Amino acid sequence: MLGPKKKVYIKTFGCQMNVADSEQMAQVLADAYAPTDRPEEADLYLINTCAIRRKAESKVRSLLGSLQVLKQRRPHMLLGVGGCVAQQEGERLLAAVPHLDLVFGAHGICRLPEMVRRAAQGRRVVDIELAREFPPQPRRRWAPGAVKALVTIMQGCNNFCSFCVVPYVRGREYSRPPREIVTEVADFLAAGGKEVTLLGQNVNSYGRGLPEPITFTELLRQIDALPGLARLRFATSHPRDLSAELIAAFGELPSLCEHLHLPVQSGADRILQAMNRGYTREDYLQKVAELRRVCPGLSLSTDIIVGFPGETEEDFQGTMDLVRQAAFDQAFSFKYSPRPQTRAALLPERVPAEVQAERLARLQNLLNELTFKAHRRLVGRDHEVLVEGISKRSPEELCGRLRTNQVVNFSGPRELVGQLVMVRIAEAHPHSLKGIQAEGCSITWPLAADPQAPQRRVSC
Ligand code: SAH
Ligand code: SF4
Ligand code: F3S
How high does pLDDT run on average in the chain?
A: 93
- Reduced to 3 DSSP states, what percent helix, strand and coil does the chain have, rounded to the nearest 5? 35, 25, 40
List the one residue out of 244, 137, 238, 230 whose CA is nearest residue 189: 230
pLDDT of 198 > 60? The answer is: yes
Q: Which of 280-289, 346-355, 444-453 has the lowest mean pLDDT?
A: 444-453
Q: Are residues 372 and 392 in the same domain?
A: no
Which pLDDT value is given to residue 440? 58
Region 206-221: mean pLDDT is 95
Determine whether the shortest distance from the Cβ of 433 to ligand 3 is under 6 A. no
Which pLDDT value is given to residue 172? 94
DSSP annotation string for 399-445: EEEETT--EEEEE--GGGTT-EEEEEEEEE-SS-EEEEEPTT-EEE-
410 lies in which domain range? 379-446
User: Ligand 3, atom 3: nearest CA belongs to which residue?
Assistant: 15
Which pLDDT value is given to residue 437? 86
Cis omega before residue 236 (within 30°)?
A: yes
Sign of CA dihedral 241, 168, 153, 386: negative
> Where do runs of H (alpha helix) occur along 327-383?
353-378
In a domain, 451, yes or no: no
Query: Binning pLDDT at 50, 70 and 90, where does residue 448 land?
Result: very low
Rounded distance from Cα 53 to ligand 1 centre (Å):
8
Determine whether the shortest distance from the Cβ of 52 to ligand 3 is under 6 A. yes
Region 391-397: mean pLDDT is 86
Q: Are residues 157 and 72 in the same domain?
A: no
Q: Are residues 240 and 253 in the same domain?
A: yes
What is the percent of the chain with per-residue pLDDT over 70, rounded to a whole number? Answer: 95
Query: Binning pLDDT at 50, 70 and 90, where does residue 441 land?
Result: low
Per the rule left: phi > 0, alpha: psi between -120 and 50, beta: everything else, 220 is alpha
Which pLDDT value is given to residue 452? 42
In a domain, 140, yes or no: no
In a domain, 132, yes or no: no
Say how far apart CA 264 and CA 244 lie, in whole Å: 18
Per-residue pLDDT reduced to its tens digit, 176-191: 999 999 999 999 999 9
In a domain, 428, yes or no: yes
Per-residue pLDDT reduced to its tens digit, 40-55: 999 999 999 999 999 9
Region 303-321: mean pLDDT is 98
pLDDT of 98 > 90? The answer is: yes
Rounded distance from Cα 202 to ligand 2 centre (Å):
7
Domain boundary residue among 349, 376, 403?
376
Which pLDDT value is given to residue 445? 53
List the one residue out of 236, 230, 226, 176 whose CA is nearest residue 202: 236
Say how far apart CA 205 and CA 216 lie, in whole Å: 7
Q: Are residues 16 and 84 in the same domain?
A: yes
**Where residue 399 sits, what CATH number does that domain have?**
2.40.50.140
In a domain, 119, yes or no: yes
For 57, how many CA atoms within 13 A lie in the half-sphere containing its CB?
Answer: 17
Which pLDDT value is given to residue 311? 98
User: No. of H helices and E strands in the chain?
Assistant: 13, 21
Domain total for the chain? 3
User: Ligand 3, atom 5: nearest CA belongs to which residue?
Assistant: 15
Ligand 3 atom, smallest distance to 13 CA: 6
What Cα–Cα distance (Å) separates residue 166 from each residue in 155, 279, 342?
A: 10, 20, 10
**Where residue 212 sits, what CATH number does that domain have?**
3.80.30.20
Q: Are residues 313 and 229 in the same domain?
A: yes
Domain boundary residue among 336, 360, 376?
376
Identity of the amino acid at 34: A
Region 46-73: mean pLDDT is 95
Rounded distance from Cα 276 to ligand 1 centre (Å):
13
Q: Are residues 355 and 383 in the same domain?
A: no
Say how far apart CA 37 and CA 313 lie, in whole Å: 46
In a domain, 459, yes or no: no
Q: Are residues 248 and 355 in the same domain?
A: yes
Residues in the chain: 460
Rounded distance from Cα 284 to ligand 3 centre (Å):
24
In a domain, 134, yes or no: no
In a domain, 452, yes or no: no
Q: Are residues 90 and 222 in the same domain?
A: no
Report which secondary-structure segment, H or E, holds 149.
strand 148-152
Query: Binning pLDDT at 50, 70 and 90, where does residue 455 land?
Result: very low
